[in-house]
Amino acid sequence: PFDAINHAFSVAATGGFSTKNASVAAYDSPLIEGILIIFMFLSSLHYGLLYASFATRSLKVFRNPVTKFYVSTIVSYTIFITLSLLVSGVETGFFQSVRQSVFAVVSTISTTGFSITDTNSWPVFSIIILLCAAVQCGCSGSTTSGVRSDRIWILAKASGAQLLRMAHPNAVVRVKTDGHVIDSDIFTSVAVYVLLYLELALIGAIVYSGLGIDFLTSVSVSISMMSNVGPCFGEFGSSMSTFADAGVVAKILMGFEMIVGRLGVFSMLSIFVFLRKDT
């Protein structure tokens, strides 16, 4: 009961804290992993849509275009990693590959950060896919961090619309969601947010590398901290290890990036803007 209660709170908050040093791998139970996958996924969805789904007793949450996009990315990431593990020979069994892939993808993209295996030993292709999932993360209105799937979806739609305008300059192209036209100001806000996120992640990676940390570790740590995922790759890459061996300066920067990622780039930077106004 103690472990169950703690893991339930950790899943609902997409926090990833486990009562076991080996994380969820300590239980070695496909049933427990399956239950965690379901609730990690639900906790990474928009809570307003979840409430509407329960209130109306319908699956309205899954009709949302962002939710459909989010689910499709999870499925795509899982397929890519499963094939990568099988082709590289890291895993020879199909079921075991799917089991590890879907858990790692959902755990990463939901920023929960639970682990059932050491993903640091996975092929580079699988690591890159997980880093993409760590940047994207869950939906707005959830407890996840990162860029959020909503912004990725809006950017993708806006990019497609812009390419269409370039091909047909006189065409009137509007981007809609649920029948509503998305204002151009929203596109600007989303683009600025994503740019600031990537800039801060890049600056963090540069500082880590300046502290003597290798390239893969620097990049993955910066993304992991900004998105509040937890596990990373490289020097601190074991999914079940800690950052205890990182230097003091590195730990201070990690703490700052985690706060920025959890509060949101705009919220954090707005504080400095207000302080500058007051002075």
pLDDT in tens, 82-122: 999 999 888 878 999 999 999 999 999 999 989 998 888 89
| CA of residue 9 relative to chain centroid, distance | 19
Give the pLDDT of residue 240: 59
Can you say how many angstroms the Cα of residue 242 is from the centroid of all Cα atoms in its chain?
A: 19
Q: Residue ranges of the alpha helices (H) in 142-247?
A: 149-167, 184-210, 215-226
Q: Cα(221)–Cα(236) distance, rounded to whole angstroms?
A: 8
For 107, phi then psi, to 5°, come to -65, -40
Confidence tier at 35 by pLDDT (50, 70, 90)? very high
- Highest average pLDDT, of 97-101, 165-169, 181-185, 260-264, comes from 97-101
User: Which amino acid does the sequence have at 200?
Assistant: L
* pLDDT above 90: residue 63: no
Position 2 confidence tier, pLDDT thresholds 50, 70, 90: very high
CA distance 14 to 274: 30
User: What is the distance in angstroms between the CA of the first residue and the CA of the last residue of the chain?
Assistant: 53
Q: Pick the more confident residue, 258 or 178.
A: 258
Q: Which residues pair with 177 in a beta bridge?
A: 180
Q: Tell me what pLDDT residue 277 has.
A: 59
Q: Whats the size of the chain, residue-wise?
A: 279
Tell me whether strands 176-177 and 180-181 are parallel, antiparallel or unpaired: antiparallel
